[in-house]
């Protein structure tokens, strides 16, 4: 159907048989490697499955399968999705198409804006830094959060353009604030784009910004396609001085493996464990375990979703390194947040001895 798109028609096969075939295809291709110019490249596949019943036309059948395939790609690829219920999926496709048009227009008309949220140190010797966030200014002046448009951007291939824009705006902001350190989210498609490392290296070199002032946030789904490839990319950027953070840690079934094998500097503990930590003893145990394991591996930790003083107190008692959330600092435009964030950081500084993880680098990291 295209340079890298194929359609397989299975006659007389039910959903179970179709998913079995999809699994076999994925496993075969997952084990395939090809060589070019002395380098080996992995192969992965995203498979969308749709049943053909009644008088469904071939174009409609293909559209349904492609819709399912897009869902796999949004999750990072290398898997399959079975489209069971046509009306909801078609409705979602229509919604995402509308959102994509809005994203495309906003990028063209320079209506994407940068916000920051402070990540506040809880120990002496560590330094305040900020997560860089994206907001979209609608035509009517309203401001939309990523929840309302990022999935559509990823689905239709605009995530990389947004990530590049966020990095460019972040570098410009750091040029104006010599002590500013930023943490930047990466979509799975961006991180796995073979051209991304070189393009990032060039942007950093052209900017003159010290790479150690930048952290890139990735999730398990970002690296699940090829762990070895992810390690290579991360080490390449770390050689320049960049940092990496593993975001939303704790929600994946293979979290400990990624924590052990990925060369990340920071572990962001998923907010689902943190926001009720003052009320839920089980969550306290889980956060303590994650924090202890991360520290034993020489990594810094961030507690997300710190929403109250009582949550902050528990997080501090557990010796987590940084806090992020509404209680310690809301997200907002840089001019506002860069002033308020420093005041918050000073107020939250503890009198504990400096962390053994600190060595005087921009974030106080090893």
pLDDT at 351: 35
Mean pLDDT over 329-351 rounds to: 72
Class of domain 102-348: alpha beta
Using the predicted structure, report yes or no on whether residue 183 has a pLDDT greater than 90.
yes
Length of the chain: 366
Question: Where does the chain show beta strands of DSSP type E?
Answer: 33-36, 39-42, 46-50, 79-83, 112-121, 129-137, 143-144, 182-185, 214-218, 243-249, 266-269, 300-303, 322-323
For residue 7, give the nearest of 69, 54, 53, 57 by alpha carbon. 69
Mean pLDDT over 39-63 rounds to: 78
Give CA–CA dist 178/180, Å, rounded. 6
Instruction: State whether the Cα torsion 246-213-354-122 is positive or negative.
Output: negative
**3-state DSSP assignment of residue 46:** strand
Using the predicted structure, report yes or no on whether residue 55 has a pLDDT greater than 70.
no
Rounded to 10°, the helix 58-74/86-108 angle is 60
For the entire predicted model, the pTM comes to 0.70
pLDDT at 102: 87
For residue 136, give the nearest of 164, 186, 100 by alpha carbon. 100
pLDDT at 72: 85
Give CA–CA dist 55/51, Å, rounded. 12
Give the pLDDT band of residue 350 (cuts 50, 70, 90): very low
pLDDT at 358: 37
Is the distance from CB of 244 to CB of 266 less than 8 angstroms? yes
pLDDT at 360: 44
Using the predicted structure, report yes or no on whether residue 216 has a pLDDT greater than 80.
yes
Using the predicted structure, report yes or no on whether residue 157 has a pLDDT greater than 90.
no
Structural domain spans, the chain: 15-84, 102-348
Give the pLDDT band of residue 252 (cuts 50, 70, 90): low
Give CA–CA dist 88/67, Å, rounded. 11
pLDDT at 271: 92
Percent of the chain with pLDDT over 70: 86
pLDDT at 357: 36
Per the listing, tokens 């320079």 go with 110
Using the predicted structure, report yes or no on whether residue 361 has a pLDDT greater than 80.
no
Whole-number Cα distances in Å, 58 to 61, 70, 160? 5, 18, 32
**CATH fold of the domain at 15-84:** Alpha-Beta Plaits (3.30.70)
Using the predicted structure, report yes or no on whether residue 133 has a pLDDT greater than 90.
yes
Using the predicted structure, report yes or no on whether residue 364 has a pLDDT greater than 70.
no
Average pLDDT, the chain: 85
Give CA–CA dist 47/17, Å, rounded. 14
pLDDT at 74: 74
pLDDT at 325: 94
Give the pLDDT band of residue 175 (cuts 50, 70, 90): very high
Give the pLDDT band of residue 161 (cuts 50, 70, 90): very high
Strands 143-144 and 322-323: unpaired
């Amino acid at each position: 159907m295209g340079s890298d798109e194929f359609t397989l028609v299975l006659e007389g096969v039910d959903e179970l048989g179709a998913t079995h075939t999809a699994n076999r295809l994925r496993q075969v291709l997952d084990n395939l490697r090809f060589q070019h110019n002395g380098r080996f490249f992995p192969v992965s596949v995203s498979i969308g499955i749709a049943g053909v019943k009644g008088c469904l036309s071939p174009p409609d059948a293909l559209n349904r399968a492609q819709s399912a395939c897009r869902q796999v790609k949004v999750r990072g690829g290398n898997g399959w999705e079975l489209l069971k219920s046509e009306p909801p999926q078609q409705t979602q496709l229509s919604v995402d198409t509308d959102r994509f048009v809005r994203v495309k227009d906003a990028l063209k008309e320079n209506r994407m804006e940068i916000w920051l949220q402070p990540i506040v140190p809880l120990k002496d010797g560590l330094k305040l830094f900020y997560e860089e966030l994206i907001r979209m200014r609608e035509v009517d002046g309203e401001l939309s959060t990523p929840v309302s448009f990022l999935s559509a951007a990823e689905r239709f291939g605009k995530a990389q353009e947004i990530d590049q824009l966020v990095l460019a705006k972040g570098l410009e902001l750091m040029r104006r604030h010599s002590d500013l350190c930023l943490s930047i989210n990466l979509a799975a498609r961006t991180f796995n784009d073979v051209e991304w490392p070189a393009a990032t290296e060039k942007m950093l070199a052209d900017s003159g910004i010290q790479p150690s002032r930048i952290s890139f946030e990735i999730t398990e789904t970002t690296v699940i396609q090829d762990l070895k490839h992810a390690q290579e990319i991360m080490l390449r950027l770390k050689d320049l001085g960049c940092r990496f953070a593993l975001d939303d840690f704790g929600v994946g079934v293979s979290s400990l493996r990624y924590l052990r094998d990925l060369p990340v500097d920071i572990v962001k503990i998923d907010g689902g464990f943190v926001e009720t930590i003052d009320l839920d003893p089980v969550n306290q145990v889980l956060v303590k375990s994650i924090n202890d394991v991360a520290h034993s591996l020489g990594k810094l930790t961030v507690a997300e979703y710190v929403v109250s003083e009582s949550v902050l107190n528990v997080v501090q008692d557990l010796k987590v390194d940084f806090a992020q959330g509404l209680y310690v600092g809301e997200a907002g435009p840089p001019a506002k947040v860069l002033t308020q964030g420093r005041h918050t950081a000073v107020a939250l500084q503890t009198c504990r001895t400096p962390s053994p993880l600190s060595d005087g680098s921009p974030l106080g990291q090893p």
